[in-house]
Amino acid sequence: MSNELKTKNFVVEKLPGLAGTVPPPPAENFSIKTLLRQDLGFLPVLVTLLIIVVFFQISTNGIFLDPRNISNLLQQVVSVGIIGIAAVLVLLLGEIDLSLAAVSQTCGAITAVLSVYQEWNGWAAILVGLVAGAAIGLVNGFFIAVLRVPSFIVTLAGSIFYAGILLLVLGRQTTLTVRDPILRDLAPNYMDNLFGWLVPLVGIGLYIAFVLLEQRRRAAIGLKTKTPLRLGIQFSLTVIVPVAVIWLLQSYNGVPIAGLIWVGLVVTFWILLTRTTYGRHLYAVGGNSEAARRAGINTTLMKLSIFALASTLAAFAGIMLLSRSTAAASQIDSTLLLRAIAAAVIGGVSLFGGRGSIWAVVLGALVIGSLENGLTLQDQEQSIKNVIEGVVLILAVTADALARRSSNRR
């Protein structure tokens, strides 16, 4: 008995130099309860999206999956999706940014004014719009990270402030139409034939390669890896769904360049968050800021950089919106911020920081965009759309809170 410790179900041998080893938990019998206690990843969101698609396809007599409508849907969600990336970054940090929509449209207006009134080259006007977004993010980050003012207060005040700046920039104009071909052609154009297939397929191949490399790396250091069945399902969905969407788009005008830009940004930030030290530090700060600080991470610099990145992405979304509508408006879209944050939360990003994937924004934006598009096809009023989107958001937040509580108990 001196060399081993007997328990009810197992024996733990004491190893030389160790106080003892912790035995693995006994295997649980399969049941619905044990399944729900596991990390289901994106599966619930995918099922929700599938239900929405089937419902609207039936209720609109097949119009919803018409190639023209799918193309319009993809272009409609681009601005929300890009702002959603910004929202994901801030939420992973454990903060909130309520100024993203105001920053987006203000920077779009700055770009439009420089192009129309100052007759700047389109690319130069875009660059200034992006720099303005980065500067705004640094200001927000300074108050939050250095002066330690709650992000809710700082960005709420910023939202009001930048809405005023938008009115000052446009002056008496309620809308300002742009005529520069660079600005007008940035979002509405299409990529067809060879490149319309080649670019997305290369992206799919790179994604599969990264997942396999991650699987191999985790196996090499003894970490838990995905089962072959789960990998097979993941890769099947990764190939089948995009190929089906591309086929539909190619039967209309081709793949929208705006959609490719959005997915390209998602892939870029996915690599940044999962393959770099910067990304690991972001998750660490969002999970426990004080522990991250004691581990040597510069939390102040991290918060400054994230808010600068988020506002720059919001500015780019505003420029894409300007290109698609060909005009800058003085009225802030009241639902733009809601839909962007909803896209992140519905996709599984935690409101409490440190948990979630950048791919969440793709699924979340498609859920929100499909609801908006399908209800429009049904000629529903805006009040009905807002009610349904609000219900979906509260359900997603509730699910996030319950999942976090269950995880903490385990």
In the chain, what are the domain boundaries? 198-248
Q: Judge contact between 400 and 350, C-beta under 8 A.
A: yes
pLDDT for 36: 39
Distances (CA, A) of 226 to 17, 39, 40, 270, 332: 33, 11, 12, 18, 44
The predicted model scores a pTM of: 0.82
pLDDT for 339: 86
pLDDT for 199: 74
Q: Are strands 175-177 and 11-13 parallel, antiparallel or unpaired?
A: unpaired
CA gap 306, 92 in Å, rounded: 10
Q: Which residue has the tokens 């937040």?
A: 397
pLDDT for 43: 67
pLDDT for 190: 83
pLDDT for 25: 43
Query: What are the residues whose beta carbons fall under 8 Å from the beta carbon of 245, sequence distance 6 or more?
Result: 70, 74
CA within 13 Å, CB half, 268: 11
Q: Are strands 255-256 and 190-191 parallel, antiparallel or unpaired?
A: antiparallel
Q: Which of 338, 362, 395 is nearest to 78 (CA)?
A: 362
Instruction: Per-residue pLDDT tens, the chain, 410 aa: give them.
Output: 444 444 444 444 444 444 444 444 444 443 444 433 444 456 677 778 888 889 899 988 889 988 889 888 888 899 999 999 999 999 999 899 999 999 999 999 999 999 999 889 999 999 999 999 999 999 999 999 999 999 999 999 999 999 999 999 998 888 899 999 999 888 888 876 767 677 778 878 888 888 888 888 888 888 888 788 878 887 887 888 888 888 888 888 888 888 889 988 998 998 899 889 999 999 999 888 889 889 889 999 999 999 999 999 999 999 999 999 888 988 888 788 888 888 888 877 877 777 788 888 888 888 888 888 998 888 888 788 888 877 877 776 676 666 656 655 65
Tokens of 201: 């397929």
CA gap 290, 405 in Å, rounded: 21
Q: Which of 237, 248, 256, 242 is nearest to 195 (CA)?
A: 256
Q: What is the CA radius of gyration of the chain?
A: 24
Helix axes 100-116, 151-170, angle to 10 degrees: 20
pLDDT for 408: 59
Distances (CA, A) of 53 to 333, 347, 372: 26, 16, 12
Tokens of 335: 């639902």
CA gap 111, 340 in Å, rounded: 22
